[in-house]
Chain A
């Protein structure tokens, strides 16, 4: 048993921290970048590609690095620390993960290499109006004819759906079940209406009107299990991104308490405030433990183990994210409400991460259905 990063992992962390810090440690830079389209820096995206980060989880045969869940977690955490707006989570882990899991050999070679090199931004078009984090699709339907597959319906919100070069789309299959499809940006019959999200990101309403699409993979069978697995993998990465954001929120809050003066003294003079910061630390470390554990389960666990670990980590991180996010603003006072100062944006991002792939209560509900099915939770394999 070992909960420490090895030397290579530490080097990866330092490298990503250096790159992300150079880009966004000055919060003004981040504000400037998210104010303009496409909501992230193409330059930073290219730098991440050059570092190998965008191909991190993919096999070397497809232009990737063949790294594990721990490495993905390290990158997500470092990006979370500076609120880097580049879509590592949604484009690489989520959409890229779907291609890696379900794509044909030809699709993997073509698409994953393109993602890894930074050539294409992928988006995962899965959420639908009325859906709540299920691994299935119903509002977008797929039809097949001699000319191939077409999609009809609306996906929303699709993270970075307007900027994306390629959409990976889930759709209800004619024979039942959910399939996965690939749609490129120029395809006729595809409409994308992009907008800003509260956390500085971008999302889109994507409308398919008999839009031609390529089946992802060779088999037109149900892909619900694949989607569920990919969502779980992304949930664990999202937990790490949230841990990075929480870690920085607490550091920033502690520094503020030491420097801000009221009544002629610094705020850390007041135990009512320092005790609340101590409770934030407890929440952070508990969340960090769950995220690290879930990554290790992901590297070698069964699909069922991974699903449970993803739910447990998501539940703990959701609770911690709300606690730390809310307290970070409160302990700052009025300055925490301003867009100019960083801390409120961290809370906004934590709120987005909480609801992107399933919030705490969603996972609590899933876990509660089986509470009588086991005696106790044993974290070891």
Chain B
């Protein structure tokens, strides 16, 4: 038992902190701090700076740019990045398709895609969910039929986050409709400029355009774009979603947001010389959130400090579930701090109301997604009940 970081890990933390706070352009970090939507160029610029320093894909195999860090160092890297308002490397590239290609792809696919994926020269989109295949992903229907050296793809994907920026999309497609649900699925990499690919925006409750539908109509895909073996992609998807859950407890970002919320609460006057932060209903609510976040951060540290033998710690399933609940609770707190100003979500920068109050409700509404994506929190409860409690 030892709470302090080793001298080497503490030095590593200081290096990360220094890099993230000095090398990523301030305007990008400000945009993150102020909850503004990042432009494609800002995402790309930030990730390329990280990649040039070897900090974009530390989780990959070393020969493809990974760093062979301990889980604790990866945790520190991730936390410090969030703490400094640095946009994390694009998850579709860094956490999802990159590791899958590195693990299951042919040498040709690795050479063709991995370097460009790490550098965000290719922007990947995720083509997994379908209108009738959400949590029940294995029931997906998008078909790929082999025709000579090509597959012909027909169907529809949905919830494709930032698909409007996508160059390529990694898809799960049904190649054997006769087999059991999970056994007939393959993974195809599809150039989004191919004829027959259409991206349609979905407007969300926060007014933003974050996700899309992607339609495939007789899209012809070279057979060499198959990842691994035909009909084996369920295993690849499970591998990918396992990675997706790592870092899905946004402790650093939520801590940062809660610290900001305290600053904002102290600016809202409630009378002579008192602010919202002096209101016991507000201060106790903040302390409860801080305490739950502390417990979550410690749970995350227990998980990363433990998982050196490669097996996930049983408590890791807590991270996504509780992490997203707390993330949402902080966005809810900020709406309440904003009070009537939270209605002014459509006001521009010439408004007399502070930006954080104007952004409060769209952020709150937007983050209702957090308990749905990455394996809904009900799926997480199912995992805990089944695999941990044996129920």
Contacts and interface: CB of A to CB of B under 8 A. Distances in A.
Contacts of B298: 289-290, 292-293, 379
Interface string B276-313: 01101001101110111111111101100110000000
A145 interface: no
Interface string B374-388: 000010111011101
Question: What's the dominant secondary structure at chain A's contact region?
Answer: helix
Contacts of A377: 255, 290-291, 293-294
B343 interface: no
Interface stretch (A166-174, A180-188, A278-286): A278-286
A380 B76 CA distance: 12
Contacts of A290: 291, 294-295, 298
A278 B377 CA distance: 11
B381 A275 contact: yes
Interface in B27-52: none
B301 A1 contact: yes
Nearest to B298: A289
Residue among A277, A282, A372 with most chain B CB within 10 A? A282
A81 interface: no
Nearest to A376: B259
B306 to A, nearest CB: 7
Contacts of A285: 299, 315, 318
A7 interface: no
A169 to B, nearest CB: 33
B72 interface: yes
Contact of B4 (A312, A364, A380): A380
B4 A6 contact: no
- Among B301, B386, B389, the most chain A Cβ lie within 10 Å of the Cβ of B389
Interface string A276-316: 01110110011101101101110100000000000010011
B258 interface: yes
A364 B294 contact: no
B121 to A, nearest CB: 36
A263 interface: no
A32 interface: no
A292 B296 CA distance: 13
Contact of B295 (A289, A372, A376, A380): A289
Contacts of A286: 292, 295-296, 299, 318, 322
A274 interface: yes
A110 interface: no
A257 interface: yes
Contact of B322 (A1, A282, A367, A368): A282
Contacts of B283: 368-369, 371-372
A341 interface: no
A281 B305 contact: no
Given A279-B381, A368-B283, A268 B391 contact: yes
Interface in A1-40: 1-6, 9
B318 A296 contact: no
B241 interface: no
A70 B296 CA distance: 20
Given A372-B277, A376-B258, A379-B294, A289 B391 contact: no
A286 B326 CA distance: 13
B1 A296 contact: yes
Interface string B348-391: 00000000000000000000000000000010111011101111
Interface in B309-352: 315, 318, 321-322
Given A296-B1, A371-B277, A315 B291 contact: yes
Contacts of B255: 376-377
B391 A5 contact: no
A3 B310 CA distance: 16
Interface size class of A (residues with CB under 8 A): 35 or more
A75 interface: no
Contacts of A316: 291-292, 294-295
B318 A282 contact: yes
Given A275-B381, A279-B381, A286-B299, A3 B389 contact: no
A2 B385 contact: no
A261 interface: no
B318 A1 contact: no
Contacts of A369: 283
Given A312-B291, A367-B287, A274 B302 contact: no
B53 interface: no
A365 B284 contact: yes
B266 interface: yes
A277 B280 CA distance: 32
B3 interface: yes
Interface in B148-178: none
A278 B384 CA distance: 6
A372 B306 contact: no
B2 interface: yes
B383 to A, nearest CB: 8
B354 to A, nearest CB: 18
A282 B388 CA distance: 11
B301 A379 contact: yes
Contact of B3 (A1, A282, A367): A1
Contacts of A277: 385, 389, 391
B22 interface: no
Interface in A235-262: 250, 254, 257-258
A381 interface: yes
A274 B391 CA distance: 7
A323 B293 CA distance: 18
B68 interface: no
Contacts of B193: none
10 contacts: A2-B1, A274-B381, A275-B382, A278-B389, A282-B321, A286-B299, A286-B322, A296-B3, A371-B283, A376-B259
Given A6-B1, A289-B295, A299-B1, 8 more contacts: A1-B72, A274-B391, A275-B385, A292-B302, A312-B294, A364-B288, A371-B262, A372-B277
The 4 closest A-B pairs by CB, nearest first: A289-B298, A274-B385, A278-B384, A296-B3
Interface of B: 1-6, 9, 72, 255-256, 258-259, 262, 266, 277-278, 280, 283-284, 286-288, 290-299, 301-302, 305-306, 315, 318, 321-322, 378, 380-382, 384-386, 388-391
